[in-house]
Structure 1
Amino acid sequence: MHYMAEDVRQLIERMWPESGISRYGRVFHDTSEFMDIGHGDVMALGGLHYLVIRDESERRFGMEDPKYWVKRCHVLETGEKRIVKLVFYETFNATVGRHQFPCYRSPIKEARILDLVREDPRFMHGFSLEDSQGNNVRVLEYVQGRRLDLQVEAMEVDHEIYFRERFPAILAGYIDACEAILFLHEHGEKHGDIRRDHLYVERGTGRYRWIDFDYAFDLRENPFGWDLFGLGNILAFLVGKGEHTPLSIAEQGLTEHIRVPLDQDDFGIIFGNRLFNLKKLFPYIPERLNRVVMHFAQGANVFYETVDELLTDLRPCLAELGAIPEQAQGGEA
């Protein structure tokens, strides 16, 4: 790295004069020390110059979680906005029931998936390249749209109207998203970090698109099991139009809706305070659909081993609700 050359400063002023950049920082050819790369710096990668606007962050559990290895950038030569993910290795343990297993970040794995889904509209798109030190850097296009969970939460209708009028199209889109994960599994890949904030609704098309593929996991009991439980958590959220815990049920005055007492078997395996037996709260939910959600509850006797098994049970639920799959492609974004 070195202080920014005058010609690069001129490039910023010529290509993006309205940038408002007041700090002309340094040029980085080596991105190893990602904490040193910030606003006003430039990363020289693959023959282009990526001006860093800021670090990305994600909101989890009500707090902003900075991601210092993920940079929001402006490509000076093209004017395009891009997200640049630098190499960051992280390992932690996850738990499903009695099983604990390692999860870790793998830039190479994410690069493989980006190549695999390059033409697939169900996923974010991008490419990988190496910096001067051989670090695998991923350059990502923005998914123009909104997180599915935020879109669902913003629907200002009660649950019954939501379930009868909005949910069928959402379920159709969710099934399409599950088929996308099945595609990865059939090619020996895992998403690795299936959460509801990693599924977006694309503006204009209404298509559901997955983002962030850099987590991997080793679950010997079922190589794709962590992905499946992630899909189950999202499904419960969509069916319930949000998360329902004993506290939230009481705060929303929904306790009187529960005619059969709740017990521990009614709650999720991963998050033990989230209600999965949603039919106890909303009795108009069809039994067939509720049984699918209950495969991810503590009271489950049988768990899904493949996404195909989940889809086999879920597609008849869509037919029972009378949904037309194409409706999912025209939703709000």
Structure 2
Amino acid sequence: MPPSARELLTRLAPDFPARHVGEIHTDTTEFMSISAGDVIQLGARHFLVLRDEAERRFGLEDPKFWVKRCRNLETGNRNILKLVFHESFPMTIGSMVVTCTRSPRKESRILDLVRGDHRFMQGETVLDTAGNPVRILEVVAGKRLDEKIEALEMSHRDYFHTLFPDVLARFIEACEAIAWLHDHNEKHGDVRRDHLYVSYDTGRYVWIDFDYTFDFQESPFGLDLFGLGNIIQFLVGMGQHTTQSITPAQRKLIEAEDCSIMFANRIVNLKKLFPYIPDALNNVLLRFSLGANVFYDATRDLIRDLTKAHKALGA
């Protein structure tokens, strides 16, 4: 007879409070019923659930009940387990509509593809007893890039002339990683600034979360490119600048075409706010604006222009 969760934790995690001990789950289909104190068993491995993960965006916390922060009871290591959750929704970019779909099997495929490439989060997929592909992810030892930028206590001018050249160089490397995926006919699928971490050990930028895919008829990899555009706008601006956040004097300078094609209140023509931004860099930003006539079709075209912009900084 298999051990109960209490027997298992008494042996492998005697420090865990007995009053919080739950059940052992070998079938993760009903992920809402799996909570802190439960144990997920995958083959011979046992993972103690510590909490549900959550995304923190726009000052709000959005719980992800299908993503569990866990402790591997055999090794003591911390892991993130992503359970199967399907969803689909439309996204509007200007006059274009993109269908986004969450695909656990696509993320499993990406994890296999990028194994050993530390520009990407690492992990493996194991099937539970119901055949659900559970992704066992290594926790990235780092901090979100956007949080590092937002924590800076300096003027934009000082940031732009001292820190930004290195930030841009490392972001170009991160774009190379996305281009490498595209070369292998794969998409990241959810390119956002909170999905890019800075490694504590190496300073390398590391991509996480690959479980979205999208159907974008006009451009097969277009949503990844627009995501990269959103990130470079944030990095150039040392944060997000909106029509609501700027001064009345600055607001008089901004026209509708100076704003993002994805978010109509976000300013991408940052040269109007910071005149010392070189044209070579600002022109990249404008390719993601409502006033753009031409958009990027390939990540390597974006990389080419960002490389030229980096040289224009004189770094």
What TM-score does the superposition give when structure 1 sets the normalisation length?
A: 0.92
Cα deviations by residue, 1:108-143 (Å, 9 ceiling, x for unpaired): 000000000011010000000100010011000000
Q: Look up the match of 2:163.
A: 166
Cα deviations by residue, 1:189-246 (Å, 9 ceiling, x for unpaired): 0000011000000102100000000000000110100000000000000000111112
Q: Distance in 1 between matches of 2:56 and 2:6?
A: 34
Q: Distance in 2 between matches of 1:257 and 1:188?
A: 43
Question: Contact 1:266/1:275 (CA < 8 Å) preserved in 2?
Answer: yes
SS at structure 1 position matched to 2:245:
helix
Cα deviations by residue, 1:246-297 (Å, 9 ceiling, x for unpaired): 21112xxxx4467x72110000000110000000000000010000111000
Question: Contact 1:257/1:282 (CA < 8 Å) preserved in 2?
Answer: no
Does the alignment pair 1:130 with 2:127?
Answer: yes
Q: Look up the match of 2:269.
A: 277
One-letter code of the match for 1:275?
A: I
| 1:5 counterpart (3, 6, 15) | 3
Question: Contact 1:21/1:40 (CA < 8 Å) preserved in 2?
Answer: no
Q: Look up the match of 2:282.
A: 290
Q: Look up the match of 2:105.
A: 108
One-letter code of the match for 2:28?
A: T
Q: How does 1:46-85 map to 2 (within 5 A)?
A: 46-85=43-82
One-letter code of the match for 1:198?
A: H
What TM-score does the superposition give when structure 2 sets the normalisation length?
A: 0.97
**Unpaired segments of 5 or more residues in structure 2?**
none
Does the alignment pair 1:311 with 2:307?
Answer: no
Q: Look up the match of 1:217.
A: 214
Cα deviations by residue, 1:130-166 (Å, 9 ceiling, x for unpaired): 0001001100000011100000010100100000001
Question: Contact 2:244/2:265 (CA < 8 Å) preserved in 1?
Answer: no
**Unpaired segments of 5 or more residues in structure 1?**
324-333
SS at structure 2 position matched to 1:132:
coil
| 1:235 counterpart (225, 232, 235) | 232
Identity of aligned residues (%): 55
Q: Distance in 2 between matches of 1:111 and 1:21?
A: 35
Q: Look up the match of 2:34.
A: 37
Q: Look up the match of 1:143.
A: 140
Q: Look up the match of 2:255.
A: 263
Q: Distance in 1 between matches of 2:51 and 2:120?
A: 24
Q: Which has the higher contact order (CA 8 A, sep 6+)?
A: 1
Does the alignment pair 1:157 with 2:132?
Answer: no
**What is the Cα deviation at residue 14 of structure 1?**
3.2
Q: What is the aligned residue count?
A: 315
**What is the Cα deviation at residue 22 of structure 1?**
2.6
| 2:312 counterpart (310, 320, 323) | 320
Q: How does 1:242-253 map to 2 (within 5 A)?
A: 242-250=239-247
**What is the Cα deviation at residue 9 of structure 1?**
2.7
Question: Contact 1:55/1:70 (CA < 8 Å) preserved in 2?
Answer: yes
RMSD: 1.5
Question: Contact 1:91/1:105 (CA < 8 Å) preserved in 2?
Answer: yes
Q: Distance in 2 between matches of 1:18 and 1:283?
A: 58
